[in-house]
Amino acid sequence: MKLPKDILTIPQLSRQNIERILSDAFRFKEYKGAPKARDQVLEGKSIALIFEKNSLRTRVAFETAISALGGHPIFLAGDNILYRAKSDTSRESIGDITQNLDRLAHGIAARVNNHKSLTDIAGYSKNPVINLLCNEHHPTQALADLMTIQWHKGKTTGLKVAFIGDGNNVATSLMDICAVMGMDFSIGSPAGYEIPRKFQDIARSIAAQSNSKLEFTNDPKKAAAGADVIYTDTFVSMGNEAESKKRTGDFKAYQVNAETMKCAKDDAIFMHCLPAHRGDEVAAEVIDSKQSVVFDQAECRLHIAKSLLYLLYK
C-alpha cells in the first residue's frame, strides 16, 4: 500500500502502511553491508534536512539512510532559514524557501519548533516532506519504538505500553501508533501535563476501530500495572528549559525506578527515546539494566529512516 506523500503524523498512516514500513525496516536491519542495488532509490537525488532543534540520533540516522540509498543529504540549520522566515523582518517566506528547495532538491525532512511550519512546507512542496519532530508529534520515533517492541516481544498485538511522564510529542505519537495497531496504551502524567485533549480524542476514535484500550491517569503505578513496555522521556523537553525548576518538582513522583518496574510484567522492557537524565526521569538501575532496550531503540531510528525513504521514493 502506497504511503502518503508526506509523513507528518501517525494518524495519517493506516495499519497496512505501518506494517509495510516495519517489514522493510527489518529487511534493512538484516543487511550486514550496504543495501541491495534495487534499494538505491535515491541515486542522483538530494534531500534537504532542516533542523531548528538539536539532534543526534535523528540527524545521523537520516543522513546515513539517505547516503545508504544512494542520495545526498543537505543539512540546513533552521535558525538561518525558518526562524527568519517567520519573523517580521524575514528575508524570505516559508513558501518561497520551500518552492526553491523543490527546484534544488528532491524532498525535505524537517525538525521544527512549530507543527504549522511543517504543514506550511508540505502545502507548498510537491516533493515528500517528513516530520523529524515538532512540538506536537514525533512520528519517526514512534515507528522506531514499534519496531523495537516487535524486535524484543516478537509481536505488537496483545501488548500494553505504559508511558510515565510528560504528555509531550513523543507520548502523543506513541499513543497514536498503539491506537492504530490495536495495542493497549496507558499514560501516567501529573495534572496539567497530560496529552492534549484534542489528540486524545483523535486516538480514541482510532482505538474504537482497532479495539485498542487507552488509559489516562495521574497515577504512575496504575499506568504501569501489568505493562509489557515501560517508556519515559525527559521531563524538560527542548523549549521547556525555563520551566526546569517547576517541572523537576511536579514530576518528582514520576521517576521510572525499580518500584515502577515491579508494577509491570516480569519480562517488561524499558524504553526511552533519549537523551536520558539518570536520576531524574529514570533511575540508573533501570536504564542500565538488562530490561533496558534503549540502544536497540536508537538503532531502529536508522532502519526506519531507510524504510520510509525507500517506500516514498521507490
CATH number at residue 165: 3.40.50.1370
pLDDT in tens, the chain (314 residues): 799 999 999 999 999 999 999 999 999 999 866 677 889 999 999 999 999 999 999 999 999 999 999 999 999 987 666 655 555 556 788 999 999 999 999 999 999 999 999 999 999 999 999 999 999 999 999 999 999 999 999 999 999 999 999 999 999 999 999 999 999 999 999 999 999 999 999 999 999 999 999 999 999 999 999 999 999 999 987 667 778 789 989 999 999 999 999 999 999 999 999 999 999 999 999 999 999 999 999 999 999 999 999 999 99
- Give catalytic status of residue 273 as yes or no: yes
Residues 164 and 145 placed together within one structural domain of the fold: yes
Residues 156 and 278 placed together within one structural domain of the fold: yes
Residues 121 and 232 placed together within one structural domain of the fold: no
Is 314 part of any domain?
no
What are the residues facing 163 on neighbouring strands? Answer: 187, 231
Residues 146 and 288 placed together within one structural domain of the fold: yes
Query: ∠212-215-221 over CA atoms, to 5°?
Result: 130
User: Which of 122, 137, 152 is a domain's end point?
Assistant: 137
Whole domain around residue 100: which residue ranges?
34-137
- Residue 149 pLDDT: 99
- Give catalytic status of residue 138 as yes or no: yes
pTM of the model: 0.96
Residues 87 and 206 placed together within one structural domain of the fold: no
Query: Cα–Cα distances in Å, from 195 out to 15, 102, 156, 192, 229?
Result: 22, 34, 23, 9, 19
- Give catalytic status of residue 79 as yes or no: no
Residues 125 and 152 placed together within one structural domain of the fold: no
- Residue 89 pLDDT: 52
Residues 116 and 195 placed together within one structural domain of the fold: no
Residues 182 and 127 placed together within one structural domain of the fold: no
Q: Which of 57, 111, 247, 303 is catalytic?
A: 111
Q: Which of 138, 247, 272, 303 is catalytic?
A: 138
Q: Which of 233, 255, 272, 300 is catalytic?
A: 233
Residues 53 and 84 placed together within one structural domain of the fold: yes
Q: How many domains does the chain have?
A: 2
- Give catalytic status of residue 120 as yes or no: no
Is 159 part of any domain?
yes
Is 308 part of any domain?
no
Residues 248 and 229 placed together within one structural domain of the fold: yes
Is 69 part of any domain?
yes
Is 10 part of any domain?
no
Residues 162 and 131 placed together within one structural domain of the fold: no
Q: Which of 134, 178, 263, 273 is catalytic?
A: 273
